[in-house]
A and B are shown apart, each in its own frame.
Chain A
Amino acid sequence: MVDSAERLINLALFLARSREGVTAEECRTAGLGYTEDQDPDAFARMFERDKDVLRAAGLPIEVDRGRGTEAYRLDPSAYAAPVQLSADELAALAAAGAAMVHDPGFPLGEDLRYALAKLTAYADAPAPTVAARITDETPEEQGEAAALLATAVAARKRTRFGYTNVSGRSGAREVEPYALFLSEGRWYLVGRDTARGEMRTYAVARMTDLSTNDGRPRSPDFERPADFDVAAFVLLPFQYGEPVRTATLRFSPDAAWRAERLTANHGTLDPQGDGSMLWRVPVADERRLLRWVVENGPGIVPVDADLRRRLADGLRKVVALHAAG
């Protein structure tokens, strides 16, 4: 009796060798490990199961019905083309891999590992010393939940979970998951809340009792709108909630080069003649905006008089609290 792993690999090699395709009967009698005297129905079930297992393992098996009976072979584009990477590109890839593969907060570590194993150019590249912490609370739980959600996003299956929002209200949600993103140490799900009929963003760490619709995995529950762009939902820390105003901030000439990096495509940047940069940006939480200004400075100040006053008052309070004696 041949071990099932041995039979599976024999079948994979047999399918990969054949250009024209092989029938189930040819597979059965080729000596791959199927028993000669097996009941035909039992063989048919086993053969279907084996093909499913190999597909799940990433082998792209194609069905050719041209000859009257079904023949199986690999998709002609089954193999990756070799890629030439520069030393810097290899190093960047190695650093990304070393950072994410071992981080429990990264939900796709196993897939990333296999992706890198398949990039032959990468195989022998030395990796830099890297430590990573992409999520700052319950990384295992977040990583696990994000992995489940990533599968639901890819298969376009509805998800259900309990959720406590920022104001402390709890309730059950049913969501069509459109995309996941990572920001400031947390995973977020963007999707359409089916009860409210609105797009919402949810912190994965706040979800409880997460489940996805397991029924009919190959038939999607919904279509994602063609113009959906997840980047539009990734906000700066002071932008979550209803926008209350647009603020204008100034980057000093010394700090102007940092504007593009820090603003991450939010708001509009307007270079000034003196080398400084003006930034107009929608704001939902003024206190968090000022906190952001201080944490990312120096070289960034508000232009709006009320925000300048509020910042100056706060700074004077800090000075008074920390006065000597």
Chain B
Amino acid sequence: MPRANAADRARRMMALLPLLTPGAELPLADLAETVGATPAQIVADVATLSLCGLPPYSPDELVEAFVEDGLVRVYSAPPALDRPLRLTPAEATALGAALEACGRGPQDALRRKLAAAAVAPDADDLSWAVYAATTPGGLAEIHAIVASATIRHEALRIEYFSAGRGALTARVIEPWALGLDRGAWYVSAFCRLAGAERVFRLDRIHTIEPIGEMFAPPAHVRPPVPAFPEDCAVRRTTIRFSADGDLSSRDLPGALFRPEEGDDTLADVPFASPGWIARKVVARLGDAEVLEPAEVRAQTAAAAGRMLDELGEA
């Protein structure tokens, strides 16, 4: 067996040991998800672990865990390594990067708490080596409250900055699912103000407060729509981009492009909200034109007009 595989398997089995608490009946699928293995690998790991122990290998010095009916049944605590080991530098780096992406910088209280408990002292200086600075500041608290309410099915009162109106609106939402798209977090929710499903960008939420009222979520929740337009039943618009507009396909996820005469490009762009696509087109300041549908053309002209008003240049 190559050494890399032996280390992978040893790592996985050592990660399983602290999870084997006496009397536990652990679904194979849960353990498999926790350590990133297949259920078949967990069955093999537990079979091997049940042969492991300490000299003289008396029953109280063995790992007593067996697989039965899709469950790992644990009869006694492992003779050693029954507590989790500290995080390796790579694990600490990964955890730091993931929390960074939720708006938690190096000084964040949760990150410091985890580092103090879980990270070896000399690994401290590595935790910033991968920096997932994907979100603007001030997001951590909002992210935590939304994530928690999504799990508990608790309604939230928010003040939301709606790009269309350019003002804050107070609303109560029933949060369903979170989505992270290239640095921006979204939540899909039932909005009681609109009486319909809506998607909110977390960094546009000004204030947030759980209202202590539980809701029944729908059987199937969709991830936030603007983050994944190609996955959802959305409409499409045709946009012409002029040659000098430095067009990047990265700006328009899911779009199909075809070159036109005179170096222009025609793009077939999926969108969920006409306001979103109109703002994208306005932002190109004349390098892009919506060809159809007429509704998006009109929204684009209106959005540009509102900005001229705002500039005092109408």
> Which residues of A does B touch, CB under 8 Å?
3-6, 8-10, 12-14, 16-17, 30-32, 49, 52-54, 56-60, 75, 77-83, 85, 87-97, 99-101, 106-120, 123, 126-137, 146, 150-151, 153-154, 179-185, 230-231, 234, 254-255, 257-258, 260-265, 287, 290-292, 294-295, 297-299, 301, 308, 311-319, 321-324
Within 8 A of A (CB), among B117-159: 117-118, 120-121, 126, 128-134, 136-140, 143-145, 147-148, 150-152
> Assuming A30-B55, A264-B133, what are 17 further A-B pairs, CB within 8 angstroms?
A13-B78, A14-B55, A16-B80, A31-B56, A92-B140, A92-B143, A92-B144, A112-B95, A114-B35, A127-B151, A182-B183, A261-B138, A263-B136, A297-B307, A316-B304, A317-B285, A323-B301
B85/A118 in contact, CB under 8 A: yes
A83/B7 in contact, CB under 8 A: no
The smallest C-beta distance from B151 to any residue of chain A, in angstroms, reads: 5
B179/A131 in contact, CB under 8 A: yes
B35/A117 in contact, CB under 8 A: yes
B180/A295 in contact, CB under 8 A: no
23 pairs across A/B with beta carbons < 8 Å?
Answer: A13-B80, A57-B8, A58-B14, A80-B87, A81-B116, A83-B113, A106-B97, A110-B36, A114-B11, A115-B92, A118-B15, A119-B118, A120-B84, A123-B19, A134-B180, A179-B128, A179-B129, A181-B133, A182-B97, A255-B166, A261-B203, A294-B307, A312-B308
Given known contacts A87-B148, A114-B15, A261-B139, A78 and B86 CB-to-CB distance under 8 angstroms: yes
Given known contacts A60-B86, A128-B178, A111 and B147 CB-to-CB distance under 8 angstroms: no
Q: Which of A16, A79, A137, A312 contacts B313 (CB 8 A)?
A: A312
A297/B136 in contact, CB under 8 A: no
Would you list the 4 A-B pairs with minimal beta carbon distance, nearest first?
A314-B285, A317-B286, A185-B182, A108-B94
B283/A319 in contact, CB under 8 A: no
Within 8 A of A (CB), among B22-79: 34-36, 48-49, 51-57, 78-79
The smallest C-beta distance from A98 to any residue of chain B, in angstroms, reads: 8
| CB-CB nearest in chain B for A320 | B286
Residues of chain B within 8 A (CB-CB) of A136 are 182, 250, 253
B81/A16 in contact, CB under 8 A: yes
The smallest C-beta distance from B239 to any residue of chain A, in angstroms, reads: 11
Task: Determine, out of B221-229, B256-264, B265-273, the stretch whose residues face the partner at the interface.
Answer: B221-229
B132/A181 in contact, CB under 8 A: yes
| CB-CB nearest in chain B for A58 | B88
Complex CA gap A117/B30 in Å reads: 11
| CB-CB nearest in chain A for B204 | A258
Given known contacts A79-B86, A183-B133, A318 and B147 CB-to-CB distance under 8 angstroms: no
| CB-CB nearest in chain A for B176 | A129
A9/B285 in contact, CB under 8 A: no
Q: Which of B15, B136, B168, B289 contacts A254 (CB 8 A)?
A: B168
| CB-CB nearest in chain A for B284 | A291
Complex CA gap A87/B53 in Å reads: 36
Q: Which of A17, A57, A265 contacts B54 (CB 8 A)?
A: A17
Complex CA gap A103/B253 in Å reads: 17
> Which residues of B does A touch, CB under 8 Å?
1, 3, 6-11, 13-15, 18-19, 34-36, 48-49, 51-57, 78-81, 83-95, 97-99, 101-102, 104, 110, 113-114, 116-118, 120-121, 126, 128-134, 136-140, 143-145, 147-148, 150-152, 161, 163, 166-168, 176-183, 203-204, 206, 221, 223-224, 227-228, 249-250, 253, 279-286, 289-290, 297-298, 300-301, 304-308, 310-311, 313
At the interface, is chain A mostly helix, strand, loop or mixed?
A: helix
Residues of chain A within 8 A (CB-CB) of B313 are 308, 312, 315
B7/A57 in contact, CB under 8 A: yes
Complex CA gap A89/B152 in Å reads: 14
A108/B97 in contact, CB under 8 A: yes
Given known contacts A81-B117, A92-B143, A294-B307, A108 and B86 CB-to-CB distance under 8 angstroms: no
A111/B91 in contact, CB under 8 A: yes
The smallest C-beta distance from A3 to any residue of chain B, in angstroms, reads: 6
A154/B129 in contact, CB under 8 A: yes
A78/B138 in contact, CB under 8 A: no
Complex CA gap A324/B182 in Å reads: 35
B285/A99 in contact, CB under 8 A: no
A132/B179 in contact, CB under 8 A: yes
Complex CA gap A234/B204 in Å reads: 21
B311/A312 in contact, CB under 8 A: yes
Residues of chain B within 8 A (CB-CB) of A291 are 283-285
